Amino acid sequence: MLFDVWAPDARKVTLHVSDGPGAVPVSVPMAPSPVRSGWWEAEAPAGDGSRYGFAVDDGPVLPDPRSRRQPEGPDGPSAVVDQDAHVWRRPWRGRPLAGAVLYELHVGTFTREGTFAAAEEHLGHLARLGVTHIELMPVCPFPGRHGWGYDGVAPWAVHEPYGGPAGLKRFVDAAHGHGLGVVLDVVHNHLGPAGNHLPAFGPYFTDRHRTPWGPAVNLDGPGSDEVRAYFIGSALAFLRDHRLDGLRLDAVHALADDRAEHFLAELSEAVDTLAATTGRPLFLVAESDRNDPRTTTPRSAGGLGLHAQWNDDFHHALHTALTGESHGYYADFARDPLGALATTTTDAFFHAGTWSSFRGRRHGLPLRRPGAPPVAAHRFLAYAQTHDQIGNRALGDRLAAGVPTGALACAAALVLLGPGTPLLFMGEEWGARTPWQYFTDHTDPELAEAVRRGRRREFAAHGWEADDVPDPQDPATRDRSCLDWAERDRPGHRRLLDWYRTLTGLRHARPQLARAVLGDARVERGDGARERWLLVHNAPLYTAVNLAPDRPATLRLPSRHTTLLAAWSDATHLAGDVLELPPLSAAVLT
């Protein structure tokens, strides 16, 4: 078997390989590649499960930067993976993003067991819910057993406690059997603070740029061709070898790149090429706070060519309308929540060259511009809750912990029947009351204490007592964050779940919703502080919500021939073109 590794500054590299765990490794000198500058190669007997690592200039034996499996954690030896060992049982042609309903899922807390195998047991629930794609939070290896996944340090491998690469393949295969696509959240902007061995091999990071996590990934300095190929290769490997349907790219605004062709454009071109080769629709969804139209503009028109992006502006508008919160980045949205909600429903971005008090400057650009082609609305993901917006609260409290069930029903209607692509966070479909808190399992005591202090310091600035902020390192913090599946079948929760299923059914029954264009939707709203209703016309559906907690709303509809399709409250009444909507309720009409 041929082993290779990029180590451009090394004087010598030695391969250490053994038959498996506990076997005595054999040392094999590696030679410079005759065709690839900076690469080292060696042949050695090995097969699926063989353990190996590399020593650079007689240093410690380290795992392969391109390791596909780390059975003993990020600091242990790598293991050879036979990618053809898994026999795929379900043929799969893929599912495109247009028309999708995504469901964000954290493997470690979706079930108490926290494994791919345990998550498989609930795939039928997701299919019946009307979900089309599962969006897995990061699954690359990190120290310890439990964590959010954003401190991964082996971008080609899969966290062993979840089930490793074989477990992920079985999960994807099972999901496809239920008609569900699978999207993976990947992190290219940094590696975690422990177990990152890439600097020992080459210039993977640079001090030319700084990020919130330290030196930036080297995307534009000397040696950056190989670094870019490293992360693009990782993305393609997951899409190809695990038959994933798409990737969610974490915080792309932290990818510092001054080259003429941005890393994201190079990545999107590679993914489009792979899609053409495989005959499956593949897509990239960015997390970006720039409100930059170029993120989703096609490469042929000078954009980065990503297929979609999360739209935090819609979330912020909806959150302020539901909760009345006005601190931090919510301040601009809270001045007129219904107006902000109307804007983000029709045009996606609220900050489109407008003043952002949180940033102290103008922010963003409009997506719709004179002379520019129409913008597909499905390119912007709409959501009421995500891991970020729940887990980055001091107590990890969900919407269900602070707003009435009727308000949750209104939020579901606006998300699931609006122009954007809906994204749900696990458990929201039944109004889960379990929190989703920030938890870690760092094995380095100093790092663990630093994370603990940092979390408490962050929220002390907002008036929280240290003892009230959950300890990320306490196993109980993770345990509290696990879904309580028994909760789903309790009366109030079951009713909300049925409402979600009704809404997804209405969406899927009207495929024209997937072809919506930004600006086509129309929104009417109540006037004044007490008239808190919205009427969203996303043809052919009308979605009416009344967010007032104590007074009904009377809405005049455009036609006397409107049909009521679904209503949260039995007290909803339609007579001709007049809709009577009780407090904290929603209705769908056509």
* CA-atom Rg of the chain in angstroms: 25
Ligand-binding site membership of 389 (annotated): yes
Question: What are the two backbone dihedrals, phi and then psi, of residue 181, each rounded to the nearest 5 degrees?
Answer: -80, 165
d(CA 380, CA 309): 5
257 labelled as ligand-binding? no
Residue 520 marked ligand-binding: no
Q: Tell me if 469 is assigned to a ligand binding site.
A: no
Q: If you search the block for the tokens 């990545």, which residue do you land on?
A: 267
- 392 labelled binding-site residue: yes
Element (H, E) at 278: helix 263-278
The rounded distance, in Å, linking the Cα atoms of 413 and 431 is 14
390 is in an annotated binding site: yes
C-alpha span between 563 and 539 (Å, rounded): 14
391 among annotated binding-site residues: yes
**Helices then strands, each counted (H, E), the chain:** 14, 28
Instruction: Return all residues near 231 (Cβ < 8 A) that are at least 6 apart.
Output: 155, 188, 217, 263, 267
Residue 466 is assigned to a ligand binding site: no
Count the Cβ atoms, other than its own, within 10 Å of residue 178.
16
**Residue 99 assigned as binding residue:** no
Annotated binding-site residue? 253: yes
**Catalytic annotation on 185?**
no
The response to whether 547 counts as a known ligand-binding position is: no
Catalytic residue among 287, 289, 292, 428, which?
Answer: 287
Report the alpha-carbon distance of residue 213 to residue 250 in Å, rounded: 13
Retrieve residue 63's tokens.
Answer: 């795992």
CA dihedral 546, 548, 554, 560 (to 10 degrees): 0
Q: Is 248 assigned a ligand-binding role in the annotation? A: yes
Query: Which of 561-570's residues contact partners 24+ apart within 8 Å by CB, and which partners?
Result: 562/589, 562/590, 563/589, 563/590, 564/588, 564/589, 565/506, 565/541, 565/589, 565/590, 566/499, 566/502, 566/503, 566/506, 568/406, 568/409, 568/410, 568/413, 568/499, 569/406
- In angstroms, the Cα distances linking 266 to 76, 188, 302 are 32, 14, 13
Distance in angstroms (rounded) separating the CA atoms of residues 578 and 555:
6
Cα–Cα distances (Å) from 444 to 194, 214, 285, 429, 552, in that order, read: 8, 19, 33, 37, 56
291 known ligand binder: no
Rounded CA separation 60/187 (Å): 26
Whether 538 has a binding-site annotation, put simply, is: no
Distance, in Å, from the CA atom of 476 to the CA atom of 439, rounded to the nearest integer, reads 9
Residue 330 and residue 322: Cα distance in Å, rounded?
12
Q: Kindly report the number of other CB atoms within 10 A of residue 240's CB atom.
A: 15
Tell me the pairing of strands 26-29 and 61-62.
unpaired
d(CA 453, CA 466): 9
Q: How far apart are CA 542 and CA 299, in angstroms?
A: 35
Question: What are the CA-CA distances from residue 535 to residues 26, 410, 415 (Å)?
Answer: 70, 11, 13
Catalytically annotated residue among 226, 250, 292, 471: 250
Q: According to the annotation, is 106 in a ligand binding site? A: no
- For residue 134, say whether it is annotated as part of any ligand binding site: no
387: annotated binding-site residue? yes
Question: By CB neighbour count within 10 A (0-12 exposed, 13-18 middle, 19+ buried), where does 53 fall?
Answer: buried
- Do residues 64 and 37 touch, judged by C-beta distance below 8 A? no
Return all residues near 211 (Cβ < 8 A) that are at least 6 apart: 189, 190, 254, 256
Check if 151 is active-site: no
**In the numeric block, which tokens belong to residue 100?**
């999708």
Annotated binding site for substrate: 248-253, 312-316, 387-392
Detail the residues annotated as belonging to a binding site: 248-253, 312-316, 387-392
By annotation, the residues acting in catalysis are: 250, 287
